[in-house]
Amino acid sequence: MNQPIQVTPSILKPPLVVGTRGSLLARKQTQWVVDQLTHAYPELDIRTEVITTQGDQLQGQPLPEIGGKGLFTEELEQALRDGSIDIAVHSAKDLPTQLPAQLAVLAYPAREDPRDAWVACDGLAFDDLPPNSQVGTTSLRRQAQLLMCRKDITFVQLRGNVDTRIKKIHRGDCAGAVLAMAGLNRTGLAEHVTHPFAPTVLLPAPGQGALAIEGRADDTRVQAILQAVNHPDTAAAVSCERAVLDALDAGCRAPAAVYVTVEDDELYCQALVVYPDGTQPVRVQAVGPLSDVTAIAHQVVTDLRHKGADEIITSCRPNT
């Protein structure tokens, strides 16, 4: 979005159609956006369309095996392109860094808690797990960083909606699992959290805790409406994180983490690339003005590459 667009009564007349996945978390996130827009524009008619994505249909397979790009977004993006919906509400970390030419992120609402959380079947802290415990997660980023803390643990697949994964934990499928704190907060399931991990222990995924509202790049009407929910600091932070991830081209097969905070109009960017077994971590950080998102992302990527991140990423790709 460039210059602010004036919201006039005529802009609010046609209904706004919002697309969402059907999971509990997706519906909660979308309803939050709808509630914010309804509060800002009581006269705006908003309709929600539930759309099933490929990622929803392949719940039984680990994400690194089936590929991550577009698994939870492609069908929503097709609905945007054909005009059946006006906006799609995504978890920002699910949204590919490269979008179709006619689509764009039109707003980033204020970020929720970006941390990862430990959920144990018996309430035992992660550091207190018995040796050789099984931990539920298919995220290579989480696995690698947990192995940096403890080499003895092993991992089991734990996919499904947030509520489904919690049920699997409590029935004993694993000693515990790592879930996003934001998702637990948004679904009202934070009571199950044993403890959150500090970002110094588990650096979050790019976009974790943030929502990305995608729409048609030339839809000035929707751009005007979404000004009410866009949060500039979150937009800058997540844009920087996504720029780093895009430049690295790590995909979902290489453990990469990027996390940006905003303090006193400055961006603080931390990034990590590490082998899947938790060895040879490459960690960098950069600080700069809020207005220099591109420059900060470039510095971080340059520093990562200088320390060997490309070699790690290349080794994680198939047939290398």
Whole-Å CA distances, 182 to 26, 81, 96: 12, 29, 19
Tokens of 238: 């997540």
Check: CB of residue 145 under 8 Å from CB of residue 257: yes
Token readout for 59 is: 């719940």
Q: Considering 86, 94, 116, 310, which one is annotated as catalytic?
A: 94
Instruction: Name the DSSP class of 192.
Output: G
| 3-class state of residue 116 by DSSP | strand
**Strand pairing class (211-216; 16-20):** unpaired
Which DSSP symbol is given to 5?
A: -
Interatomic CA distance for residues 63 and 179, integer angstroms = 15
Asked if 267 and 260 count as a contact pair (C-beta separation under 8 A), the reply is yes
* Pairwise CA distance, residues 212 & 96, whole Å: 11
DSSP-derived 3-state class of residue 215: strand
Instruction: Report how far residue 9's alpha carbon sits from residue 310's, in angstroms, rounded to the nearest whole number.
Output: 51
Which run of H or of E encompasses 314?
helix 309-316
Round to whole Å and give the CA distance between 132 and 149.
13
- Nearest Cα neighbor of 285 from 259, 311, 308 is 259
Question: Catalytic residue at 163?
Answer: no
Q: Which residues are catalytic?
A: 94
